[in-house]
Structure 1
Amino acid sequence: MRSALRRSALAAGVAVLAGVSLVFAQRLWSGPGRFGGGPPKWAARANFDGSFNYCRGFYSSNRPEAGGMGWWTDYPGADNNFSVRLAELTLVRVRLDAARQPDNVVVRLTDPLLSRCHMLFMEDVGTARFTDQEVEHLRAYLEKGGFLWVDDFWGTPAWEQWTQEIGRVLRPSEYPIFDILPDHPIMHTLYDVKEIPQVSSINFWRRTGGSTSERGYDSPYANFRGIADEHGRLMVVMTHNTDIADTWEREAESPEYFDRFSPVGYAVGVNIVVYALTH
């Protein structure tokens, strides 16, 4: 499976060349009722042709978190908008559907089609509880070349629950979590990102007059952490105490929010995706 994932990644047409746009008639999502909504778009074999799909991982939550919505947090706007910008900012070949929109999918962790995903995105993972079967399938996906990015989970309780769940997938004694430092290649894959920004949701930011710490003293700054395999390849990256995906989902709703957060949010996202596709 590892070699198949590598071949699939190459087929995605990765190029570390900024400033080249692939011009499609793609729309950006810009808020409820305007574009998106509805039930999950479950992955099907026909969705995969070797191009890049934004694969969102489906899971069950056992508790709520303020500002979160479980697996579908920021869905489907973040998925769509990031895929549009990825096609514009790189030569990654993004899969399009019949309407010429990015062909983003939701995939169950036990679905064999998970192996067709170049990488997997999950949000609000501090509420996740995996079944034993999900643990086994996610472990196989990661150990055979897969890549997972989790975002938008805040504070100590969410961190502790997530580390418990990912620790069931990848044993901490074999796969310890570590801080990703500014000189790591993932920070400079395409864009030169100095640090991971702390971004609050646009609703929290508006309500608090511009605060970025959604849990106050319990989320003083963003954490960027990872898990690597025995060769040093990152398998899991975690953006904790920050909501990178909202910089994509909400880019069209506020010029001020866009100017402050979206350029670096897209830079972080593009760097992570290009790293995943080339390692």
Structure 2
Amino acid sequence: MKRLPHYLAFFTLLITVSLSAQEIAILKYKGGGDWYANPTALPNLIVFCNENIGTALPPKPETVEVGSSTIFQYPFIHMTGHGNVVFSDEEAENLRTYLLSGGFLHIDDNYGMAPYLKKALEKVFPDKTLEELPSDHPIFKQVYSFPDGLPKIHEHDGKRPQALGIFDENRLILLFTVESDLGDGWEDPSVHNDPDEIRTKALQMGANIIQYAFTK
């Protein structure tokens, strides 16, 4: 699929956002990783955001492919999974254009995704590296305050949670949350049997990310 020129992609994203208001989508990618993991997560986060931070998000998020021009219809895209992630050259260029044109991508490691994802991102941004966000970054103090930074939702390897970002001219364009698993906390309570306080932290942090992406 032929990619949009950078300047055209910017105006496409700008016009689409102004017409469709707030919309989010799930990113479908190749490589064998389960991009469809946590099916109840994003719908639950949408309900939480609509009820608590004044968004008007459609209840069912759409699915978009990395190489498709339809990603430019969504100012916020969510990506998750456990395993391998592979971007073709065309897909990497399309995603890079989307992000540099004003889009925002949140990637939540559902456990085991990190090594594959980092390699894939090198193709998208060979000149940029993931940087850890400090605990005083604005994303941690939107509607809800997280003075210690990203909350720990699931243990995984017992390591501390990290919020890693890619920036373009001081603008956070990509957020990669690791060793936290916010998506598991967003899922229906019966899926992981997380305590209410853990689910609340996950949903509040998710709401912060959504608000930051729409108001940055």
Among 45, 64, 70, the alignment partner of 1:107 is 64
The one-letter code matched in structure 1 to 2:10 is: R
Q: Please show how residues 86-165 of structure 1 align to structure 2 within 5 Å.
A: 86-95=49-58, 102-124=59-81, 126-154=83-111, 158-165=113-120
Q: Provide Cα deviations, 1:87-144, integer angstroms capped at 9, x if missing partner.
A: 001122212xxxxxx1311101122110011111000265211112211110110111
Partner residue in 2 for 1:245: 183
> What's the counterpart of residue 70 of structure 1?
34
Task: Provide the residue aligned with 1:179 in structure 2.
Answer: 132
Structure 1 residue identity aligned to 2:24 = Y
Distance 1:222 1:126 in 2: 19
Q: Which residue of 2 aligns with 1:17?
A: none
The RMSD of aligned alpha carbons is 2.2
> 2:132 matched to 1:197?
no
Q: Matched residues in 1 for 2:195 and 2:16: separation?
A: 33
Identity value in percent: 25
Structure 2: give runs of 5+ residues left out of the alignment: 1-8
1:50 aligns with 20
User: Which stretches of structure 1, 4 residues or more, deviate above 4 A after TM superposition?
Assistant: 6-9
Correspondence for 1:80 among 40, 43, 56: 43
**Which one of the candidate residues 225, 228, 234 is aligned to 2:164?**
225
Report how far residue 159 of structure 1 moved. 2.6
Distance 2:192 2:36 in 1: 25
Give the structure 1 partner of residue 206 of structure 2: 269
CA distances 1:202-236 after superposition (whole Å, capped 9, x unpaired): xxxxxxxxxx2x23xxx512111101101x11000
With over 3 angstroms needed to count, the CA separation of the structure-2 counterparts of 1:73 and 1:132, relative to structure 1, is same
Kindly provide the amino acid, as one letter, of the partner of residue 165 in structure 1: A
TM-score by length of 1: 0.68
Larger radius of gyration: 1
